[in-house]
Structure 1
Amino acid sequence: MTTNNADPAALAPRDLAIFVKSTPLPDVRALMSGDRRDALLREVFRRMPDVFRADRAVGLDAVIHWVIGDRPDGGVDRYQLEIADGVCRVSPVADREPKLTLTIGGADFLLVVTGNAHPVVLTMKGRLRTRGDLALIAKFPSLFDVPKV
């Protein structure tokens, strides 16, 4: 399957992870700056509550903002995660004060959420910028079951 004929938003999480892993980075960048970006982002965020690990979030009450760059128009997409009472809620409207803000390019976002890049490595390389609660930054990656490929 190539990025030209694939509908990544229709793939199951593990299949999406395999697709991203087998796709050259320039093609992932093209996908995340193309016309399928919006549907793919909506689907990834729609699935986040399903892979949320409530057992790892006991006592956590936090708002997290994702700021995802490389939109075709040069802008960013913003999504809000609210974690409270063992539940993760997602919104395309970032309207609450965040404890943590994660700013990342589109391709790197897709690599992280599919388990094909580690957020700490991207942070060290300057490709993932974090702002906010240091304890939450360290804990955040463990709050979701990322596909293993």
Structure 2
Amino acid sequence: MTQTPGSAPLDRAAAVALVERLPEHALPDRLAALRGSVRFDLTHDGDVVTRVAATLAGGVVEVLPEPDAPVDVVLRLPASHLADLLGGIANAGLDLLSGRLAVEGDAEMALALGGVFVVPGTEADPVAVDPRALDPVAVACALVGVPTSHLRAVMAGGFRAVVLEEVFTRLPSFLDARKAARCDLTVGFRLTGRDDGETERYVVHVAGGTCRTVGPGLADTEVPERRDATITCEAHDFLRLATGHLKPVTGVLKGQLRVKGDKAKALQLLAVLDIPCAVE
């Protein structure tokens, strides 16, 4: 659903109707598991023009008469995009990264809500949109033109762990086995920029043309003591690195990637990874 600049924004009655019909586009069991309240702040040309608040409990969606009532989570998005989000066309995770969607409050609930909608065309064997399943190329495309300030804010909040787990889980599939055939290296990543000041530590080990990742949220969580090098960076810069939006040498020269230990090993790791990039 596309709305051109200057066209009439979605009115409240139409927005309420879309929210009330939410169960028609959702998997019943997933919707039934949701309990809480949400408000949609719908924008037009950057300004909020309509608000719709609703409660979700036991698979029932009830629009609140007072749109400014306190809620668990607020989703801010263009009014023209609401039908795509509630109709299973849009991916809330990609929209959050791209800046089309902003979340205030319970990020976990926002992601859970984004994961109840059925992908169009899968009625016979319904498949829900999974905002946590972040395809690397889709992420690379979503980040084109996104201000660093927005990406820093997203990667400091509740969506951070989802993104990092997804990237490190998929990282072994980026390995160029031919280039890595004779590699034997272990590189740690120390990721900063969290709201609470804490850091996450991940390790990537490459040997004999295979790659293994270790860290919080992954299948293997026991971080090895020995590392050839450790790369320290903010999480948003790591995401830019992992999607082709930050070149390794540029990041090192600008101080965005700080390497402790064997710099040659750190650069070798990045050289044997076939980093996804936005499709031209």
Asked if residue 113 in structure 1 is aligned to residue 242 in structure 2, the reply is: yes
Give the superposition deviation at 1:140: 2.2
Q: State which of 190, 193, 198 in structure 2 corresponds to 1:67.
A: 190
Summarize the Cα distance change of 1:67–1:48 in structure 2 as closer, same or farther, 3 Å threshold: same
Q: In the alignment, what sits opposite 1:131?
A: 260
Does the CA-based 8 Å contact 1:3-1:27 persist in structure 2? no
Superposed displacement of residue 18, structure 1: 1.1
Q: Is the CA contact (8 Å cut-off) linking 2:248 and 2:267 kept in structure 1?
A: no
TM-score (norm 2): 0.50
Match of 2:219 in 1: none
1:88 aligned residue (211, 214, 221):
211
- Given that 2:185 and 2:269 are in contact with CA atoms closer than 8 Å, whether structure 1 keeps it comes out as no
Stretches of structure 2 that go unaligned for 5 or more consecutive residues are: 1-94, 104-109, 112-130, 216-221
Q: How many residues align?
A: 149
> Is the contact between residue 104 and residue 127 of structure 1 (CA under 8 Å) also seen in structure 2?
yes
Matched with 1:141 is 270
Cα distance in structure 2, aligned partners of 1:14 and 1:56 = 21
Q: CA shift at 1:51, angstroms?
A: 0.9
Alignment partner, residue 102 of structure 2: 4
TM-score (norm. length: structure 1): 0.91
- Inter-partner Cα distance in structure 2 for 1:114 and 1:79: 17
Q: Secondary structure at the match of 2:213?
A: strand
Q: Deviations over 1:12-40 (max 9, x none)?
A: 11010111223221110011101010011
Q: Which amino acid aligns with 1:70?
A: G
> When you count helix as a share of all residues, which structure comes out higher?
1
Structure 1 residues 96, 125: closer, same or farther in 2, change over 3 A?
same
CA distance in 1 between counterparts of 2:174 and 2:185 reads 17
Confirm whether residue 38 of structure 1 aligns to residue 164 of structure 2.
no
1:80–1:3 distance in 2 versus 1, CA, 3 Å:
farther
| Letter in structure 2 aligned against 1:147 | P
2:199 pairs with one of 76, 83, 89: 76
Deviations 1:91-142 (A, max 9, x none): 1043221011111111111111100011211111111101222332332222
> In structure 2, do the counterparts of structure 1 residues 3 and 130 end up closer, same or farther at CA, with 3 Å as the change threshold?
farther
Q: Distance in 2 between matches of 1:108 and 1:43?
A: 16
Matches of 2:170 and 2:209, distance apart in 1: 16
Residue 177 of structure 2, aligned match among 54, 59, 84: 54
Q: What SS does structure 2 have at the residue aligned with 1:66?
A: strand
